[in-house]
Amino acid sequence: MKAVTVIGIGDDGCVGLSSKAMGAVARARVLAGGERHLDFFPQFDGERIVIKNNIVRTAEKIAELSAEHTICVLASGDPLFFGIGNLILKKVGRDHVEFIPAPSSVQNAFSKIGVKWDDASFISLHGRPIEGFITKLQTISKIACLTDETNSPSKIAKYLLNYSETDWKVFVCENLGGKEEKVREFELETLAETPNISDLNVIILIRKDPNWKPYPLLPFLGEDEYAKRLPKKGLITKKEVRILSLSALEIRPDSVIWDIGAGSGAVSIEAAKIAREGKVYAIEVDSEGIEICQQNMLSHKTDNVFLIHGKAPQALMDIPAPDCVFIGGSKGNMKEIIELSFDRLSQGGCLVANAITLDNVAEAYKTFRDMDLIPEVSLINISRGQKLADYLRYEALNPIHIFKIRKS
């Protein structure tokens, strides 16, 4: 028998445990778990450890005691599915831990509504920020969400409605396996106003439209699909340049990205869709630009973009270090922005700067050379077809330089 046995337990308590699990509890000298889990074993006469607030310290205590005692840890459902199991593994060591799982709350929830779940996605909002949830949904047709008091079902419903995410069937499954079990289907508008839902719940979201498809992996959105500042055609990176710049940034699903001089926010939004598990910090000095970015974030459903109203490089001081930096505007501070951004850039990360004016091109190139860096440089000349009566002519866009440096 290993020193620590982690047992999955449902709301039905001892009734749902196997003889192997009950035997492990009987042999243990220490029993750890949440208060409601420990209440299932009033007859246990060994040491009890309540797992409540400082979970890391509790796991360390379990590891210390395991040197001399046999220990059972009680956890909800499957301890290795968004549970305490992985933390116990790290603190005690794989060779000294055994797991006896119960069906997870998500597994139970799908069985209650009679829907297959091998194609479902999962997210835990338990003790985690809700920001980024909307962006993740844009690639998902079926998802189970674990909630908490802060990210309650009604708050999640309101959050979805704020981004016009209404094309969902919503199931709320409460107290699964217990005496107070409830399984209900809601419209989002109704759920947003429904109080007194148990903290022990799973939300399942399923797309109403069976023919729904996610957005393309490589967006190629025209300028007219974004709100933007005038005059002329707006302060926005043209779609052909945008896709080249995004590719040069080498964005990964969990990247932290800086978009300096965000303008209308098009680069931030499309970067955020690629970095679904990451974050984009959009820095913009103009108040009107901030309002337009917010409008575009809502309409394009990217809640992992975080707007910073300020001027670079000062506005960059207190935000997390980036894996990718895009410089779309500099307000005369190109040198300082490049130097600070490259210094903060993570190892292996990429910095990409777009420059239209000869002044910015010269300053960017000189700055890189003064830093003993040799950038990859592309001069992009793009012409678009335009109708002229019954004919098609070409209309040239402003040429633009794209500078790229990878931090080695």
Distance separating alpha carbons of residues 290 and 301, to the nearest angstrom: 16
Are 190 and 272 members of one domain?
no
Give this prediction's pTM: 0.91
Residues spanned by the domain of 393: 239-407
Residue 234: pLDDT band with limits 50, 70, 90: low
Are 306 and 263 members of one domain?
yes
Taking residues 98-116, what's their average pLDDT? Answer: 96
Taking residues 348-367, what's their average pLDDT? Answer: 97
Please tell me the predicted confidence (pLDDT) of residue 232: 47
The enclosing domain of 42 has a CATH number of: 3.40.1010.10
Question: Is residue 373 predicted with pLDDT exceeding 50?
Answer: yes
Are 24 and 89 members of one domain?
yes
Are 190 and 260 members of one domain?
no
Any domain includes 215: no
Residue 149: pLDDT band with limits 50, 70, 90: very high
The enclosing domain of 115 has a CATH number of: 3.30.950.10
Are 253 and 393 members of one domain?
yes
Are 283 and 382 members of one domain?
yes
Percent of the chain with pLDDT over 70: 99
Any domain includes 139: yes
Dihedral, CA of residue 191, residue 195, residue 201 and residue 207, to nearest 10: 0
- Its sign, for the CA torsion 340, 342, 345, 346, is negative
Are 343 and 279 members of one domain?
yes
Query: DSSP alpha helices (H): ranges in 43-84?
Result: 55-65
Please tell me the predicted confidence (pLDDT) of residue 297: 97
DSSP 91-137: HH-GGGEEEE----HHHHHHHHHT---TT-EEEE-TTS--TTHHHHH
**How many distinct structural domains can be found in the chain?**
3
Tens of pLDDT, residues 316-353:
999 999 999 999 999 999 999 999 999 999 999 999 99
Are 256 and 372 members of one domain?
yes
Any domain includes 232: no
Are 397 and 273 members of one domain?
yes
Any domain includes 329: yes
Lay out the sheet containing 279-284: strands in order across.
Answer: 305-309, 279-284, 256-260, 324-327, 350-355, 400-406, 376-380
Taking residues 376-400, what's their average pLDDT? Answer: 96
Contact 227, 264 (CB under 8 A): yes
Mean per-residue pLDDT of the chain: 95
Domain boundary among 53, 76, 103: 103
Please tell me the predicted confidence (pLDDT) of residue 53: 86
